[in-house]
Structure 1
Amino acid sequence: MVEPSPTVAFVCVQNAGRSQMAYAFARRNLDERELDATVLTGGTRPADGVHGNVVESMAELGIDLSDRTPREVTVEELSDADYVVTMGCSAEDVCPAGWGGENRDWGLDDPHGEGPEKTAEIRDEIRRRVGAFFDELEAEADGEANAAEGR
């Protein structure tokens, strides 16, 4: 029996900084590791655009966020997600009781209005956490594959 691929939601209030960076690093991890998962991002009160300093910081790593638009995350998306990762942005209007999966709050500083050095520091922490999270997903997938093969 093949397990369905997990859905991971990266959520913040404005969906204009931390959650956009996490989503971009998640997409990169999926491609590099050839993992099967669905990732999405959204906010409870989305901004008009991704913060300029975030776009610049991600561009330093060859990731273009200039065409990304913050979007509102839906209750349905959250209830269908296996993992909901909030960014420490006190999304108080999103009640985790309705979420279908595991919730993790990363407690990250907001890069909005920060200078290049602080933004890069936040970006690098997000990259590290996303990598560690996908290490977990990869280990789970390997464990399930081994169990299915009777190892």
Structure 2
Amino acid sequence: MRTEQHDISLDQQVALKGAAERLTRHFEGTFNKETIELFLLTSYDEFADRATVTSFLPLLAERFAKQRLHAMARVEGHDDGKPIVLFLCVHNAGRSQMALGFFNHHAGDNAVAWSGGSEPGTKINPSAVAAMAERGIDITEEFPKPWTEEIVRAADVVVTMGCGDACPYFPGKRYEDWPLDDPAGLSVEDVRPVRDEIERRVLELLGSIGVAARG
């Protein structure tokens, strides 16, 4: 197997085959196998150039492809009625990940949130992870990732945090810009005020889209 840019080892081919089968079952009746494999392999390419541990590439590709396919389904009219919010920053390693964590914590299953970066990093900011853990929210399962056109098009609200002109813009979509300090290189102590302001804004956002916050 070969993507547009990369050769794939035998072990990763096996892992990607399993991922394609799972995604095909999940999106049965919505997308055909060829479409799913295309999304999976292009998602693999998104991470391959900057991956520090290549053994996780098939898993990252599967998770990102699943998100992209959900977005494409929404764009094509398969709407479950849940509002979708997209949080964007530069590296998708700090601010947008904390916002995603708070959104999922407070919204539960009543809304959907995604995050992305204009220049995705290689790992989540450890100070952001620690600051969120203090609030009982684990963001270690997340990973920096880019945004794609279908993800932006599917979102009802796009929240930008410091990515400026690199952030995507689609006319007619609701945008909010949150001027927040970048936690890159900051201590946990210095990240806490940023974290708390993000939670305040997330709760305000939930109210504005008609989603009751949990707990």
TM-score between the two structures when normalised by the length of structure 2:
0.58
- Backbone CA RMSD of aligned residues: 2.1
More helix by percentage? 2
Which residue, 31, 35, 49 being the options, matches 2:123? 49
- Maintained 8 Å contact 1:79/1:100: no
Q: Which residue of 2 aligns with 1:9?
A: 86
- Maintained 8 Å contact 2:104/2:112: no
State the one-letter code of the partner of 2:93: A
Q: Which residue of 1 aligns with 2:74?
A: none
State the one-letter code of the partner of 1:74: T
Q: 1:112 to 1:99 in 2, by over 3 A?
A: farther
- Maintained 8 Å contact 2:88/2:163: no
Aligned equivalents of 1:65 and 1:95: distance in 2?
A: 25
- Maintained 8 Å contact 1:78/1:99: no
Aligned equivalents of 1:130 and 1:82: distance in 2?
A: 15
Q: Which residue of 2 aligns with 1:119?
A: 191
Q: Which residue of 1 aligns with 2:180?
A: 108
Q: Secondary structure at the match of 1:15?
A: coil
Q: Give, in angstroms, the shift of residue 3 of structure 1.
A: 8.4
TM-score between the two structures when normalised by the length of structure 1:
0.81
Q: 1:4 to 1:23 in 2, by over 3 A?
A: same
State the one-letter code of the partner of 2:103: A
Aligned equivalents of 2:143 and 2:80: distance in 1?
A: 32
Q: Secondary structure at the match of 2:185?
A: coil
Aligned equivalents of 2:99 and 2:190: distance in 1?
A: 16
Query: Which structure has the higher relative contact order (CA within 8 Å, separation 6+)?
Result: 1
1:83-108: CA deviations, max 9, x gaps? 00011x13322341x26520000111
Asked if residue 70 in structure 1 is aligned to residue 147 in structure 2, the reply is no
- Maintained 8 Å contact 1:14/1:43: yes
Q: Secondary structure at the match of 1:132?
A: helix
Q: Which residue of 1 aligns with 2:204?
A: 132
State the one-letter code of the partner of 1:57: A
1:65-84: CA deviations, max 9, x gaps? 22321111112211221100
Aligned equivalents of 1:46 and 1:137: distance in 2?
A: 28
State the one-letter code of the partner of 1:12: C
Q: Give, in angstroms, the shift of residue 117 of structure 1.
A: 2.0
Aligned equivalents of 1:53 and 1:28: distance in 2?
A: 19
Q: Give, in angstroms, the shift of residue 139 of structure 1.
A: 6.7
* Structure 2 runs not aligned, ≥5 long: 1-78
Specify the structure having the higher radius of gyration (Cα).
2
Q: Which runs of 4+ in 1 moved over 6 A?
A: none
Q: Secondary structure at the match of 2:209?
A: helix
